[in-house]
Structure 1
Amino acid sequence: MSSEVKVPTLGESVAEATIGEWLKQPGEAVRQDEPIASLETDKVAVEVMSPIDGVMGEQIAAVGDTVEVGALIAMIEEGEGGSAPAPAAKDKPAAASDDAARASDGEETGDAAVLSPAVRRAVLEHGIDPSSVKGTGKDGRLTKEDVVAAAQAKKDGGAAPAPAPSASPSPSPAPAARGERREERVRMTRLRQTIAKRLKSAQDTAALLTTFNDCDMTAVIETREKYKSLFEKKHGIKLGFMSFFAKAACLALKDVPAANAYIEGDEIVYHDYVDISVAVSAPNGLVVPVIRNADAMSFAEIELAIAEFGKKAKDGTLTMEEMKGGTFTISNGGVFGSLMSTPIINPPQSAVLGLHRIEDRPVAVNGEVVIRPMMYLALSYDHRLIDGREAVTALKIMKEAIEDPARILIDL
């Protein structure tokens, strides 16, 4: 007896997805509620679970196929799994992987042939040599998690895991001849396509302008250093810089409501609350989960929310609801070393605050040149709604609140 596997409901206004990766192959045993496939939507990756205990049967859709909600994508057979090699998806033995990534000479040899599109994307994004990573998947194949773990180990200064032992030697790809140049085509994920469309739409629709200021981080650094141990002991979370900027933004948006509004048709929609979208880097691209009612939250509540979103983004478990809405965005390019940037607004929002790296610079204080930890702040805004005076005022309020955190406590 067989059980059908269909595309689950993906969220409000999301009608289709792309098969990103098959996590189980035909013939492999599966347990009820065990993930068997990963679907890529416009915003998040969604796992499809097995409805019963059994054996992975026919895969009706291939990696790279676009499938609608409710569409049949696979069958689960009753019984126990064996060790037979996994056949390719129905009628599409290699089309998806061919489209996803192929060298310019049109051939795939050696280890490259067994990398799924999701793994290939992870390898390219993290700059990892797949031959240096031990695979934990079926028959020693690499999984996306293996690549992410290796990238984290590399970031932490550790060595990448040793290559997986091979039962029998396999031919290695021929080394490129001196001076030879190659290309590889990788299909854009649905998330990356959506990011591209939304950012281009923002440029085409909004009258984008950016105003800059610099900020002395001395007071925040000293406050953080003084209270970080007590803060972590009491709240179970580290005190970071983002909560200071979130509270400073809330202060500014109350005084400059246009920066917390958006245009809809010929009307301006204002909000008496602040929902801050926090730009987070995920394996498949940038995502923006929302801290709701940030203006009513404590520092600890904001830090806990940010930490939870960061973990979910890394694990690929953010939900549609967690990224829905938002009235203002904060993007921290400083974690990657950015000195200055002009961030693009997150439609339909009208403003975004860009944070950058902190570096010691000489500045004039009371007529003397001193060295201070400085950060450039950038506020990009829709000039159709926000005037230059309002934008500069909002950014100035944020700067002053960071340079004198007491302002946040007394709402000044």
Structure 2
Amino acid sequence: MATEIRVPTLGESVSEATIAQWFKKPGDTVSQDEPLVELETDKVTVEVPAPVAGTLENIVVKEGDTVEVGALLGQIAEGSGASDAPASSAKAEAKSETKAETKSGAKAGKAELVDVVTPSAGESVTEAEVGEWSVKVGDMVKADDTLVELETDKAAQEIPAPVAGKVVKIVAETGTTVEPGVLLCQIDPSGEGAAAASAGKAAPAEKAAPAAASGSSMPPAPSAAKMMAENKLSGDQVAGTGKRGQVLKGDVLDALASGATAAASAPTPSQISRGPVAADDEAREERVRMTKLRQTIARRLKDAQNTAAMLTTYNEVDMGPVMELRKQYKDLFEKKHGVKLGFMGFFTKAVTHALKEIPAVNAEIDGTDIIYKNFCHIGVAVGTDKGLVVPVVRDADQMSIAEIEQEIGNLGRKARDGKLGMADMSGGTFTISNGGVYGSLMSSPILNAPQSGILGMHKIQERPMAVNGQVVIRPMMYLALSYDHRVVDGKEAVTFLVRVKESLEDPQRLVLDL
């Protein structure tokens, strides 16, 4: 019996893909869920897994061919030696290794070691980068204690301990790239047998790190370890001032400044070539690899600049009416709805009203087509310590201000906790960015591709304004609309921003749908 392999659904507005690479050839034995082929679209790269175990019978399309969603890729003959197929995933190898170690360990027979593997990070996310480990080999952990943080190009994810016990082995070093199912570490739930299970098998991360300072039970901090390795310093040459005597980056800098070793005072070839002043500066620099999330942010923002005909138009809004309304009803609003009445609810509602009147701002270009969105999924840019993320309030045009405030609050908490999923950040049609919370008075936001518009909010600043022939002090905010001039004409952009201004200066318009 043959099972067909077809192109899966690739996401909103994506109808075709290019065959990037086949991982198997006809006649190869495959396991269920084993990646067979990699597809590339203009948005994501997707691996197509084997739907069943068996033998790859034939391949219909070649590498480099373009195929549509649902197209036939190949066929698998079920049951043809599938049971004899060697396990190809790192997870399977790790499990067999674990069993062998358990049999040979002096006390490991008392409890099976528990594998901690890389979880699935969501659709289109096929790999992650191992961040900083919160534990080391020999540490005792409780169930749900954070072991390590994994970073993808979408978000960061903390990996908790599945059981209580002792960490006996760390397999994946900080900075390595792992796929779903790959072994990260092992835990002995009995808390015993750690020495037998890990003897002669120190964690790779510990091999790479310099020896701990004399009298310290803690390895150097990662930035300190890197600097010590670059300057050929050993653990006993640097006095640690951190917790339990841990060597920190400042301790290494102090050791270098005091000329404690010849290695610290001898310039490297690169320092010589850069000159004495540059060499001194280099000793005080810290080189940190960009996270996958930061790399994706950088790539997407630059792509938006290179692709869109981006232009920004400005206006200003008197925030007095909204502030008065908020002051008058904030206590009653919070009591009834369980959420504070902020400014984002008003801005989101004003934007959805304007988008209905000016649909071009709510559209996107797909090849030679313009796709007009008959719904308003509003992205709200949120700054986190990991970088900028844009969770989406779906169907905001159908929500009340209270519902919008509640959803923004929920998404903001998930963003700060690193718990945003792919579904939370995909499908946005327009974005609002609030630089005012950081004190920005004026800026030109960059488009969140493939969207055609983004509204920039700014700081509320009291300024003298002419009102009915009189100079009065009013709480004013500058608004900035960046738009894709390929889709949105100047008249439409200006009209959109004026409509947002009118709704905020006369909030009754939002109630009366004017």
**What TM-score, normalized to structure 2?**
0.65
1:213 — aligned with what? 315
Asked if 1:384 is matched to 2:481, the reply is no
- How far apart are 1:406 and its partner, in Å? 0.6
User: Is the Cα–Cα contact under 8 Å of residues 88 and 94 in structure 1 kept in the other structure?
Assistant: no
Which is further off, 62-71 or 30-39? 30-39
Which residues in structure 2 correspond to 1:129-144 (within 5 Å)?
139=244
2:209 — aligned with what? 94
Structure 2: segments with no counterpart, 5+ residues: 1-111, 211-220, 259-276
1:154 — aligned with what? none
User: Is the Cα–Cα contact under 8 Å of residues 100 and 187 in structure 1 kept in the other structure?
Assistant: no
Amino acid at match of 1:50: A
2:439 — aligned with what? 337
User: Is the Cα–Cα contact under 8 Å of residues 228 and 252 in structure 2 kept in the other structure?
Assistant: no
User: Is the Cα–Cα contact under 8 Å of residues 260 and 328 in structure 1 kept in the other structure?
Assistant: yes
Q: For residues 363 and 239 of structure 2, what CA distance do their matches in structure 1 show? A: 49
Runs of 4+ in 1 over 6 A off after TM superposition: 81-86, 107-110
- How far apart are 1:184 and its partner, in Å? 1.4
Asked if 1:402 is matched to 2:504, the reply is yes
Asked if 1:18 is matched to 2:129, the reply is yes
- How far apart are 1:368 and its partner, in Å? 2.0
2:30 — aligned with what? none
Counterpart selection for 1:269 from 371, 376, 381: 371
2:430 — aligned with what? 328
Counterpart selection for 2:189 from 78, 82, 86: 78
Amino acid at match of 2:140: A
Which residues in structure 2 correspond to 1:290-305 (within 5 Å)?
290-305=392-407
Q: For residues 252 and 319 of structure 1, what CA distance do their matches in structure 2 show? A: 29
Q: For residues 69 and 285 of structure 1, what CA distance do their matches in structure 2 show? A: 23
- How far apart are 1:107 and its partner, in Å? 6.3
User: Is the Cα–Cα contact under 8 Å of residues 29 and 82 in structure 1 kept in the other structure?
Assistant: no
Aligned to 1:395, what secondary structure does the other structure show? helix
Asked if 1:9 is matched to 2:111, the reply is no
User: Is the Cα–Cα contact under 8 Å of residues 166 and 190 in structure 2 kept in the other structure?
Assistant: yes
Q: For residues 399 and 27 of structure 1, what CA distance do their matches in structure 2 show? A: 61
Amino acid at match of 1:364: A
- How many equivalent pairs are there? 362
Identity rate, percent? 53
- How far apart are 1:28 and its partner, in Å? 1.9
Aligned to 2:287, what secondary structure does the other structure show? strand
User: Is the Cα–Cα contact under 8 Å of residues 118 and 184 in structure 2 kept in the other structure?
Assistant: yes
Asked if 1:223 is matched to 2:223, the reply is no
Q: Deviations over 1:138-181 (max 9, x none)?
A: x5979xxxxxxxxxxxxxxxxxxxxxxxxxxx99834858x953
- How far apart are 1:306 and its partner, in Å? 1.5
Counterpart selection for 2:418 from 316, 327, 349: 316
Q: Deviations over 1:111-130 (max 9, x none)?
A: xx999xxxxxxxxxxxxxxx
Aligned to 1:340, what secondary structure does the other structure show? coil
User: Is the Cα–Cα contact under 8 Å of residues 27 and 82 in structure 1 kept in the other structure?
Assistant: no
Aligned to 1:184, what secondary structure does the other structure show? coil
2:150 — aligned with what? 39
Amino acid at match of 1:46: Q
Q: Deviations over 1:28-86 (max 9, x none)?
A: 22344443221001111112233444321211111111111222222222321799999
User: Is the Cα–Cα contact under 8 Å of residues 174 and 205 in structure 2 kept in the other structure?
Assistant: no
1:233 — aligned with what? 335
Aligned to 1:185, what secondary structure does the other structure show? coil
Amino acid at match of 1:341: S
Q: For residues 379 and 211 of structure 1, what CA distance do their matches in structure 2 show? A: 5
Which is further off, 364-373 or 323-332? 364-373
User: Is the Cα–Cα contact under 8 Å of residues 345 and 404 in structure 2 kept in the other structure?
Assistant: yes
User: Is the Cα–Cα contact under 8 Å of residues 101 and 185 in structure 1 kept in the other structure?
Assistant: no
Structure ranking higher on relative contact order (CA contacts 8 Å, 6+ apart): 1
Q: For residues 57 and 104 of structure 1, what CA distance do their matches in structure 2 show? A: 26
- How far apart are 1:2 and its partner, in Å? 2.1
Q: For residues 306 and 472 of structure 2, what CA distance do their matches in structure 1 show? A: 43
**What TM-score, normalized to structure 1?**
0.80
Amino acid at match of 1:93: A
Q: Deviations over 1:295-327 (max 9, x none)?
A: 111111111112222222222222222112211
The 1:229/1:21 distance shift into structure 2, 3 A limit, reads same
Q: Please give the root-mean-square deviation of Cα atoms over the aligned residues, in Å.
A: 3.2
Amino acid at match of 1:301: E
Asked if 1:251 is matched to 2:353, the reply is yes
User: Is the Cα–Cα contact under 8 Å of residues 30 and 81 in structure 1 kept in the other structure?
Assistant: no
Q: For residues 320 and 401 of structure 2, what CA distance do their matches in structure 1 show? A: 19
Structure 1: segments with no counterpart, 5+ residues: 116-130, 143-169
Q: Deviations over 1:264-298 (max 9, x none)?
A: 11111111111111000111111111111111111
Which residues in structure 2 correspond to 1:160-171 (within 5 Å)?
none
Q: For residues 425 and 246 of structure 2, what CA distance do their matches in structure 1 show? A: 33
Aligned to 1:326, what secondary structure does the other structure show? coil
Aligned to 1:251, what secondary structure does the other structure show? helix
Aligned to 1:347, what secondary structure does the other structure show? coil
Q: For residues 101 and 43 of structure 1, what CA distance do their matches in structure 2 show? A: 27
2:51 — aligned with what? none
Which is further off, 377-386 or 40-49? 40-49
The structure with the largest alpha-carbon Rg is 2
- How far apart are 1:216 and its partner, in Å? 0.6
Asked if 1:61 is matched to 2:180, the reply is no
Q: For residues 313 and 301 of structure 1, what CA distance do their matches in structure 2 show? A: 18
User: Is the Cα–Cα contact under 8 Å of residues 7 and 67 in structure 1 kept in the other structure?
Assistant: yes
- How far apart are 1:92 and its partner, in Å? 4.8
User: Is the Cα–Cα contact under 8 Å of residues 333 and 355 in structure 1 kept in the other structure?
Assistant: yes
The 1:106/1:401 distance shift into structure 2, 3 A limit, reads farther
User: Is the Cα–Cα contact under 8 Å of residues 131 and 149 in structure 2 kept in the other structure?
Assistant: yes
Asked if 1:373 is matched to 2:475, the reply is yes
Q: For residues 281 and 369 of structure 1, what CA distance do their matches in structure 2 show? A: 37
